[in-house]
Homo-oligomer: A and B are copies of this chain.
Amino acid sequence: MFRDLSDFHAWWAERTRANDYRVTRTPLESMPGWALEPGTENIVHDSGRFFSVCGLEIRTDHREVASWSQPIIVQPEIGILGILVKMIDGRPHCLLQAKMEPGNVNLLQLSPTVQATRSNYTRVHRGSAVPYLDHFVAPRGGRVVFDALQSEQGSWFLGKRNRNMIVEVTGEVPVRDDYCWLDLEQIAVLLKEPNLVNMDTRTVLSGMPFLLSPDGRAPRHEESPGRAFHTHGELLSWLSEMKSRYVLTRRTVPLAQLAQWKRTGGEIVHEESRYFSIVGVDVRATNREVAQWSQPMLKPAGRGLIGFLGRTIDGVFHVLVRAKTEAGTHDVLELAPTVSCNAANYACLSPELRPRYLDDLERAAATRALVDVVHSEEGGRFLHAENRYLVVDAGEDFGLDVPDDFRWMTVDQLTALLRYGNHVDVAARCLLSCLAAVPTAVAVG
Query: Is the Cβ of A420 less than 8 Å from the Cβ of B216?
Result: no
The one of B217, B241, B331 in contact with A147, judged by C-beta atoms closer than 8 angstroms, is B241
Q: Does A215 contact B (CB under 8 A)?
A: yes
**Chain B residues closer than 8 Å to A215, beta-carbon distance:** 225-226, 231
* In the complex, A28 has a CB within 8 A of chain B: no
A240 touches B145 (CB 8 A): no
> A258 near B: Cβ within 8 Å?
no
Whether B226 and A163, one on each chain, are in contact in the complex, defined by CB atoms closer than 8 angstroms, is no
Decide if A24 is an interface residue (CB 8 Å cutoff).
no
A234 within 8 A of B: yes
Residues of B within 8 A of A165 (CB): 237, 240
A76 to B231, alpha carbons, bound, how many Å?
29
Question: A54 → chain B, closest Cβ, in Å?
Answer: 15
A421-B148 in contact given A218-B222, A225-B215, A231-B216 (Cβ < 8 Å): no
> Does A210 interact with chain B (Cβ within 8 Å)?
yes
Q: Which of B146, B217, B244, B247 contacts A163 (CB 8 A)?
A: B244
Q: Is the CB of B147 within 8 A of A237?
A: yes
Q: Is A65 an interface residue (CB 8 A)?
A: no
Contact B78 A236 (CB under 8 A): no
Provide the A256-299 mask, 1 if CB < 8 A to any CB of B, else 0.
00000000000000000000000000000000000000000000
In the bound complex, how far is the Cα of B145 from the Cα of A222, in angstroms? 16
Cα separation A144 to B241 with both chains bound (whole Å):
12
Shortest Cβ gap from A235 to chain B (Å): 8
* Distance of A80 Cα from B241 Cα, bound (Å): 10
Bound state CA distance, A346 and B240, in angstroms? 37
**Which B residues are in CB contact (< 8 Å) with A247?**
76
- Are B222 and A149 in touch, CB under 8 angstroms? no
Q: Which residues of B contact A232 (CB under 8 A)?
A: 216-217
Bound: A218/B215 CA distance, A: 15
Give the docked Cα–Cα distance between A165 and B236 (Å): 11
Chain A 68-86 interface residues, beta-carbon cutoff 8 Å to B: 76, 78, 80
Scoring A residues 123 to 147 as 1 if CB is less than 8 Å from chain B, else 0, what string do you get?
Answer: 0000000000000001000001111
A90 at the interface (CB under 8 A from B): no
Cβ–Cβ < 8 Å partners of A148 in chain B: 236, 240
A331 to B421, CA, bound (A): 12
CB <8 Å contact, B144 and A243:
no
* A165, B240: Cα distance in complex, Å: 10
A233 at the interface (CB under 8 A from B): yes
**Docked pose: A218 CA to B416 CA in angstroms:** 12
**Chain B residues whose CB sits within 8 angstroms of the CB of A145 once the complex forms:** 233
Query: Is A419 in the interface zone, CB < 8 Å from B?
Result: yes
Asked whether, in the complex, the Cβ of A138 is within 8 Å of the Cβ of B216, the reply is no
Specify which chain B residues have a CB less than 8 angstroms from the CB of A210 in the assembled complex: 233
> Hey, which chain B residues are within 8 Å of A249, CB to CB?
76
Nearest-neighbour CB distance to chain B for A32, whole angstroms, equals 28
Q: Which residues of B contact A144 (CB under 8 A)?
A: 233-234, 237
- In the complex the two chains form, what is the Cα distance from A244 to B78 in whole Å? 6
- In the bound complex, CA of A165 to CA of B226 (Å): 23
CB-based contact A149/B244 at 8 Å: yes
Bound state CA distance, A216 and B236, in angstroms? 10
Cβ–Cβ < 8 Å partners of A420 in chain B = 236, 420
Of the listed residues A118, A236, A240, the one surrounded by the most CB atoms of chain B closer than 10 A to its CB is: A240
Chain B min CB distance to A3 (Å): 33
Q: Is the CB of A216 within 8 A of B243?
A: no
Nearest B residue (CB) for A221: B217
Contact A222 B231 (CB under 8 A): no
Which residues of A pack against B, CB within 8 Å? Answer: 76, 78, 80, 118, 138, 144-149, 163, 165, 210, 215-218, 222, 225-226, 231-234, 236-237, 240-241, 243-244, 247, 249, 330-331, 419-421
**Can you name 26 A-B residue pairings with CB atoms under 8 Å?**
A76-B247, A76-B249, A80-B244, A118-B244, A138-B241, A144-B233, A144-B234, A146-B233, A147-B241, A148-B240, A149-B244, A163-B244, A210-B233, A215-B225, A215-B226, A215-B231, A216-B232, A216-B233, A216-B234, A217-B222, A217-B225, A217-B232, A222-B222, A233-B419, A236-B419, A330-B331
